[in-house]
């Protein structure tokens, strides 16, 4: 996860599936700001339901979520 986040150039928060049931169930909207980046990454790595999908990784680029304009590139 750490490498993917670094490659993407985006913040850890962008990797969270904020509309997911698990995200809401854990009350992460209020908890994430108090968590360190390392804690957030560990949380993402612990449960795939927290990760925004689809997630496309080719080693040089990371795309999260479906944004039609970005995918053809």
| pLDDT for residue 36 | 97
pLDDT, tens digit, for every residue of 13-70?
A: 999 999 999 999 999 999 999 999 999 999 999 999 999 998 888 878 888 877 767 7
pTM of the model as a whole? 0.85
| pLDDT for residue 66 | 75
Long-range pairs, 9-18, Cβ under 8 A, ≥24: 10/62, 10/64, 12/37, 12/40, 12/41, 12/44, 13/40, 14/52, 14/64, 15/44, 15/51, 15/52, 15/64, 16/40, 16/44, 16/50, 16/51, 16/52, 17/49, 17/50, 17/51, 17/52, 17/53, 18/52
| pLDDT for residue 57 | 87
């Amino acid at each position: 996860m750490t490498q993917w986040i670094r490659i993407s150039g985006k913040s850890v928060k962008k990797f969270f599936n904020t509309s997911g049931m698990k995200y809401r169930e854990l009350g992460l909207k209020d908890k994430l700001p108090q968590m360190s980046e390392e804690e957030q990454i560990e949380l993402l790595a612990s449960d795939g339901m927290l990760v925004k999908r689809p997630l496309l990784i080719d080693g040089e680029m990371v795309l999260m979520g479906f944004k039609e304009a970005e995918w053809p590139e």
